[in-house]
Structure 1
Amino acid sequence: MKTSKGFTLVEIVITIMVVAILAVVAAPRFLNLSSSAYAANIHGVNSALTSALKLANARIQIDDAQTTLDYQGKTVALTAGNPAASADTLRALLNIDVPKSWTRNWESVPCDEPEFCILGNMFPGKGGYVSIPNFPLSGNNGLDRASYIWPRGYVIKSEGCYAFYINEASKETFHTGSIDAGC
């Protein structure tokens, strides 16, 4: 008696179908890891910024600071009792060295800095202002301002992947948060 060893055509087709089904189910999960990483990065920036603002506000109270604050050896300007919503403020609070020389076409050109781009002193009516969902600023003639930080490779206005800081000076309060819908 002669027996043959090997796979039948039916077994091979079933195996290919199982592998194809697994690929269809698993591929989107693996392909989405990059955007999840960017979203987690933005949430981390927001957490670090929130913590730094709490420390800065404690320092403001301790020093009874009125116009500027010495924060870890860097001078932070104050507006209405809170750190100003400027790019320099974000650099100081987050202790990062994001170069000041980058394209002014942030509305259409992806960030090409080493890790992040920062934009500050923005308010409704100013060219390039990016409105933040759930935080509509009235601007109050430029008194209330926002600053943004977003990752390399993203365009802030069209993609929605950034952390923000708002100094709502008209109400002497501030807000932080992150938008990750476009990460």
Structure 2
Amino acid sequence: MYKVKGFTLIELVIVIVLLGILSVIAAPKFIELQRESRISVLNQVQASFKSVATMTNSKAIIQQFEDGTIDVDGNAIQIRGSFPTGHWNNTWRYAMNIGKEIGFTRTNQICTQNDLCGVGNQRNAPSLPIATTSRGLVLIWLEGMKLSDLCYSYYYNDELGEFPEVGMVTDGC
């Protein structure tokens, strides 16, 4: 006589139910890890904004220079009020040196070309927590997202000589 080996229907149903329970428990934790990862990247971008602004300001003070262009790592960076301007192509494209160039992306587009996308000379952004009076706003957001997803870092130089506003919006991360 042959013995039939295999799973019964009840055993298969129990395994499927257990996998369902595990996925319900694991999915929120996985989603939270993605959110934390995105926020971590934005924290690094924010820190880079602050570092570049501080370094450029120090160099401008030493050279007694407030407006124009200043050399940073072989790149001409535009400054106003001794801090980097909010222009993308003439400033942050080169100042944000992360080992590769961050390309300009339109504000309503999904970031697809790079890990990070950026734009400058903006007046406002969705859910921006600061008031802006001129085109000095730089925005950097993550691959696979749009600015309207509310997951970006910002830099704003009002060109009055005060340290620029730097922060991030994480509501949609």
Change (3 A) 1:166 1:131: farther
Residues 27/59 of structure 1: CA separation in 2 closer, same or farther (3 Å cut): same
Distance apart, 1:33 and its partner CA: 2.6
Code of the residue aligned with 1:133 in structure 2: it is L
Matched with 2:138 is 147
Q: Structure 2 CA distance, aligned partners of 1:98 and 1:11? A: 53
User: What are the superposed Cα offsets for residues 107-145 of structure 1, whole Å, 9 maximum, x if unpaired?
Assistant: 2x211222221110112xxxxx315533122x1xx3x52
* Cα distance in 2 between the residues matched to 1:45 and 1:132: 18
The answer to whether 1:69 aligns with 2:59 is no
**Percent of pairs with identical residues:** 25
TM-score, scaled to structure 1: 0.74
1:1-150 equivalence runs, <5 A: 20-67=20-67, 68-88=69-89, 89-95=91-97, 96-100=100-104, 102=105, 104=106, 106-107=107-108, 109-123=109-123, 129-131=124-126, 133-137=128-132, 139=133, 142=134, 145-150=136-141
- Contact 1:110 1:154 (C-alpha < 8 Å) held by counterparts: yes
TM-score by length of 2: 0.78
Unaligned runs of 5+ in 1: 1-9, 124-128
User: Which structure 2 segments of 5+ residues have no match?
Assistant: 1-9
Deviation (angstroms), 1:155: 0.8
Q: Report the secondary structure of 1:169's partner residue.
A: coil
**Shift in Å, 1:146:** 0.6
RMSD: 2.8
Cα distance in structure 2, aligned partners of 1:181 and 1:71: 34
CA drift of 1:11 comes to: 9.8
How far is 1:20 from its partner? 4.5
